[in-house]
Amino acid sequence: RELTVDLGERSYPIYIGEGLLDSAAGYFTKHGISKKSTLMIVSDSHVAPLYLETLEQHLRGEGFRVTSAVVDAGESSKSLAVLEQLVAKALEAGLDRKSAVVALGGGVVGDLAGFLAASYMRGVQFIQIPTTILAHDSSVGGKVAVNHPLAKNIIGAFHQPEMVLYDLNTLQTLPIREVRAGLAEVVKHGLIWDESFVEWCVTNAGKLQALDADALGYALYKGCSVKAAVVSEDERENGLRAILNLGHTIGHALEAVAGYGELLHGEAISIGMIGSAKLGLRYGAPQSVYDVTKQSLQSCGLPTRLPAHLDTDAIMDAMSHDKKFKESKMVFVVPVAIGKVEIKSDVPVEWVREIVEELKQEA
Ligand code: NAD
Ligand code: ZN
């Protein structure tokens, strides 16, 4: 499958299929990646042992000059310190302005390598080879960043890739918890945009969790299509792009309070989407919107209850650090129908507090 992210002269293709890792060189050549300049593959300590050698050997065999850097798996690698190490490696290997940086991994590697590509010599070409389901979200849209100890994703840029190569075979080794967490963003893309896709997800939730290649290919195609459509209309988040934050206001607060690791991002936003659906009810959405939201997330094996030991005050406090907080009103993405959300900028803080409490009682 193939689709295009339509951004004028920065448009780029997303290829989704089995075995793309072994045919990457053809796509590279087609999209003007130079064989004269060294390209640098960035991967992490889980993904590299599984797929790096295959990709390196294939590219070298096709005449590309390749160097690689492997960072520790996990969010902590999205740091300025690791970025600095990567820059040192890039300089040592002689990367120049015509070089490309290739991200082989999940969202962590994509964001880190993407920021390297955005900043090294004021910007070089960038290729995304996502290996998680979640990365269908992070690899499309051009947001790249590293974290600061005080805030996530705070040092970053918009830097669109030349292409996204999604090899479904790489997903076969993904731990089931990561599979489910990634499906949360897939379902989110349905909930904000496409009712029939939500129904499809519920019907195919079993196949998706069993990593059926056809089902996964379709789900990632649809998820990427929604993301691409939204980003095409609003590349720099001046308006529409905000709908992608469904479930993220509560979700980010939960991640921060639980400590990164206890709740995966997808798990936190799953609970957050239930919270948003509860808000929807208060704004008059039909009960079925809440019911279908819950059913779609539960069918994918995702949590819907907020862990009771997480302190409500701490969660509210964490949300106040999120930029979406003005006086006693908050901004939320709220489902009004399945496949349709609205931005509400007048959500009473008290409602949010009540919903956080309700989420602890959720079945
Ligand atoms: P991740 O990159 O940490 O991957 C999750 C885990 O799976 C890691 O341990 C990784 O080593 C492992 N893994 C990856 N691929 C594997 C494979 N094929 N087989 C076995 N193990 C594999 O996390 P993620 O969930 O992919 O991404 C989360 C990151 O994405 C966060 O840092 C988040 O901020 C970022 N993100 C960015 C955007 C954006 O628009 N740029 C959007 C959403 C999320
Ligand atoms: Zn997200």
Q: For all residues of the chain together, what is the average pLDDT? A: 95
> Residue 153: CB within 6 Å of ligand 1?
yes
Is the pLDDT at 36 greater than 60? The verdict is yes
**Which range, of 16-30, 105-119, 232-246, 274-288, averages the lowest pLDDT?**
232-246
Do 290 and 359 touch, CB atoms closer than 8 A? Answer: no
The H or E element containing residue 13 is: strand 12-17
Q: What is the pLDDT of residue 236?
A: 85
- Output the pTM of the full model: 0.94
**Using one digit for the tens of pLDDT, what is the confidence trace for 178-187?**
999 999 999 9
Distance 223 CA to ligand 2 centre (A): 12
Domain ranges, ordered by start, for the chain: 2-173, 176-361
Dist. CA 110–CA 287, nearest whole Å: 38
pLDDT band at 9 (very low <50, low <70, confident <90, very high): confident
Say whether 87 sits in a helix, a strand or coil.
helix
Determine the average pLDDT of the residues in 266-275. Answer: 98
Please list, in sequence order, all residues whose beta carbon lies within 8 angstroms of the beta carbon of residue 337, skipping any fewer than 6 positions away.
Answer: 195, 285, 286, 289
Ligand nearest the Cα of residue 272 is 2
Dist. CA 4–CA 11, nearest whole Å: 7
Is the pLDDT at 164 greater than 60? The verdict is yes
Determine the average pLDDT of the residues in 50-59. Answer: 97
Say whether 74 sits in a helix, a strand or coil.
coil
pLDDT band at 234 (very low <50, low <70, confident <90, very high): confident
Q: For residue 164, with 0-12 CB atoms within 10 Å meaning exposed, 13-18 middle and 19 or more buried, which class applies?
A: buried
pLDDT band at 150 (very low <50, low <70, confident <90, very high): confident
> Residue 227: CB within 6 Å of ligand 1?
no
Which residue has the CA at smallest separation from atom 33 of ligand 1?
A: 107
The CA-based diameter of the chain, rounded to the nearest angstrom, is 61
**Beta-carbon neighbour count of residue 62 at 10 Å?**
15
Q: What is the pLDDT of residue 54?
A: 96
State what percent of residues in the chain have pLDDT above 70: 98
> Residue 320: CB within 6 Å of ligand 1?
no
Determine the average pLDDT of the residues in 140-157. Answer: 93
Q: What is the pLDDT of residue 322?
A: 57
Dist. CA 241–CA 192, nearest whole Å: 11
Q: For residue 325, with 0-12 CB atoms within 10 Å meaning exposed, 13-18 middle and 19 or more buried, which class applies?
A: middle
Q: For residue 276, with 0-12 CB atoms within 10 Å meaning exposed, 13-18 middle and 19 or more buried, which class applies?
A: buried
Say whether 222 sits in a helix, a strand or coil.
helix
Q: Which of 4-18, 277-291, 309-323 has the highest mean pLDDT?
A: 277-291
Q: What is the ipTM of this complex?
A: 0.99
Distance 266 CA to ligand 2 centre (A): 7
Q: What is the pLDDT of residue 10?
A: 86
Q: What is the pLDDT of residue 48?
A: 98
Determine the average pLDDT of the residues in 198-213. Answer: 98
Strand partners, 100: 125
Do 316 and 351 touch, CB atoms closer than 8 A? Answer: no
Dist. CA 205–CA 182, nearest whole Å: 12
Strand partners, 156: 145
**Which range, of 97-111, 159-173, 190-204, 307-321, averages the lowest pLDDT?**
307-321
Which are the catalytic amino acids?
A: 122, 143, 185, 222, 237, 241, 245, 248, 252, 265
> Which CATH number applies to 176-361: 1.20.1090.10, 3.40.50.280, 1.20.58.1880, 3.40.50.970?
1.20.1090.10
**Using one digit for the tens of pLDDT, what is the confidence trace for 109-144?**
999 999 999 999 999 999 999 999 999 999 999 999
Distance 302 CA to ligand 1 centre (A): 17
Determine the average pLDDT of the residues in 183-200. Answer: 98
pLDDT band at 357 (very low <50, low <70, confident <90, very high): very high
Distance 186 CA to ligand 2 centre (A): 10
Strand partners, 325: 330
Is the pLDDT at 327 greater than 70? The verdict is no
**Using one digit for the tens of pLDDT, what is the confidence trace for 93-108?**
999 999 999 999 999 9
Q: What is the pLDDT of residue 189?
A: 98
Q: What is the pLDDT of residue 62?
A: 96
> Residue 168: CB within 6 Å of ligand 1?
no
**Beta-carbon neighbour count of residue 84 at 10 Å?**
10
Determine the average pLDDT of the residues in 132-158. Answer: 94
Dist. CA 221–CA 131, nearest whole Å: 14
CATH class for the domain made up of 2-173: alpha beta
Q: What is the pLDDT of residue 65?
A: 97
Please list, in sequence order, all residues whose beta carbon lies within 8 angstroms of the beta carbon of residue 64, skipping any fewer than 6 positions away.
Answer: 25, 28, 33, 35, 39
> Residue 134: CB within 6 Å of ligand 1?
yes
Lay out the sheet containing 325-326: strands in order across. Answer: 325-326, 329-337, 340-348
Tell me: is residue 173 an annotated ligand-binding position.
yes
> Residue 169: CB within 6 Å of ligand 1?
no
Lay out the sheet containing 125-130: strands in order across. Answer: 2-5, 12-17, 163-167, 125-130, 100-105, 39-44, 66-71
| Same topology between domain 2-173 and domain 176-361 | no
Dist. CA 335–CA 190, nearest whole Å: 11
Choosing from 20, 83, 138 the residue with most ligand 1 atoms within 8 A of its CB, the one to mutate for a pocket test is 138
Please list, in sequence order, all residues whose beta carbon lies within 8 angstroms of the beta carbon of residue 19, skipping any fewer than 6 positions away.
Answer: 167, 169
